[in-house]
Structure 1
Amino acid sequence: MKIEEELKVKKFTNDWQRATVNVLFTASWLGLVLEKRAAKKKITLQQFNALRILRGQLPEPTTNNLLRSRMISNTPDISRLVDRIVAKGLASRAKNRDDKRAVDLFITQKGLDLLEEMEDDMLLMDVLPSNINEKEAAKLSSLLDKFRGEIAENEK
């Protein structure tokens, strides 16, 4: 469905305005879809993201700071997020050998199993391939990278 129909807008000022509104609307829509899917497994989208980062670091440990720096969305209270995934048995903590103040984080087998179970659903494999082909997905990703790169440079 076109963005004009979704928002019941007759006309945008120009294509740049339409693109901006479309990106914002789609990001919000996508976030809601993914939150609902994660909730079915009794975790949040941020917890899912944290588990993916922990898995990507294996066999190396992850610290809270590294986790915070790689999260997709801003997560001010990373300690509470970590507390929750540890309490669910999806991650574990260990003391850092080199820095007594630091804590090493590892994904548990339970966390790995949960990610494997959720992966296709969270990557929208039931939606994306039926709406856009792989070449279109690559082009969309490339355009979003280009768009974000310009904004990032101007906002530093």
Structure 2
Amino acid sequence: MNVEEIIKTKTNIPLPKRTIIHLSLVVNKIDEIIATALKPYEISIQQYNVLSILRGQKGNPANLSTINERMVTKMSNTTRLVDKLIMKGFVKRRVCKENRRKVEILITETGLNILTEIDGILFETEKRILENFNENDLNEFNILLDKF
């Protein structure tokens, strides 16, 4: 019996543990579905997150620590993510004119264009993921999640 079957049968797993396992399975499934949607664009969920953060800067640069603070998944390899996006032409790096020790990251026009293309795909993917929930369900679910 796999973990999903155990959860469904509600065996003797204590409720807190069952809840954590269930949440983990759902998060992994959502990540898998979104990663599949992003695969044709050859970017990861984390790379997409960096691009979204930079788009939110509205033309202003961000440094690595700002990007890392705003990442959905906190990680220490933000530099590597940015390097990959630079190689793809989606972002550029420059030295700050006022402080030469500071590195600034900016999204390129190519990065903005790929995000625009991906936005529609992800909107449909998110709709599909949540198709079994009505608006009231989603509001209640968000209220519960806010307790974290």
Partner of 1:7: 4
TM-score by length of 2: 0.86
Residues 135 and 120 (structure 1), Cα distance of their counterparts in 2 relative to 1, 3 Å cut: farther
Residues of 2 paired with 1:115 and 1:139: CA distance?
30
Q: CA deviation at 1:54?
A: 0.3
Question: Contact 2:30–2:129 at 8 Å: present in 1 too?
Answer: no
Residues 11 and 128 (structure 1), Cα distance of their counterparts in 2 relative to 1, 3 Å cut: closer
Partner of 2:40: 40
Partner of 1:132: 133
Q: CA deviation at 1:62?
A: 0.5
Q: CA deviation at 1:17?
A: 3.0
Correspondence list, 1:24-35, <5 A: 24-35=24-35
Q: CA deviation at 1:5?
A: 8.9
Root-mean-square deviation (CA), in Å? 2.1
Query: Of the two structures, which has the highest relative contact order with CA contacts closer than 8 Å and spacing of 6 or more?
Result: 2
Residues of 1 paired with 2:88 and 2:107: CA distance?
11
Q: CA deviation at 1:39?
A: 1.6
Residues of 2 paired with 1:88 and 1:77: CA distance?
17
- The code of the aligned residue for 1:136 comes to D
Partner of 1:95: 95
Question: Contact 1:90–1:111 at 8 Å: present in 2 too?
Answer: yes
Residues 48-82 of structure 1 deviation map (CA, whole Å, 9 limit, x = unaligned): 00000000111221101111111111221211111
Residues 67 and 87 (structure 1), Cα distance of their counterparts in 2 relative to 1, 3 Å cut: same
- The code of the aligned residue for 1:108 comes to T
Please state whether the residue corresponding to 2:41 is helix, strand or coil. Answer: coil
Residues 15-36 of structure 1 deviation map (CA, whole Å, 9 limit, x = unaligned): 4333222111101111111112
* Runs of 4+ deviating beyond 6 Å: none
How many residues align? The count is 144
Residues 125 and 51 (structure 1), Cα distance of their counterparts in 2 relative to 1, 3 Å cut: same
Which sections of structure 1, spanning at least 5 residues, go unmatched?
149-156
- The code of the aligned residue for 2:128 comes to V
- The code of the aligned residue for 1:8 comes to E
Correspondence list, 1:1-150, <5 A: 7-9=4-6, 10-12=9-11, 13-123=13-123, 124-128=125-129, 130-146=131-147, 148=148
Q: CA deviation at 1:6?
A: 6.9
Residues 102-137 of structure 1 deviation map (CA, whole Å, 9 limit, x = unaligned): 111111111111111112332434414522122322
The alignment-based identity, stated in percent, is 26
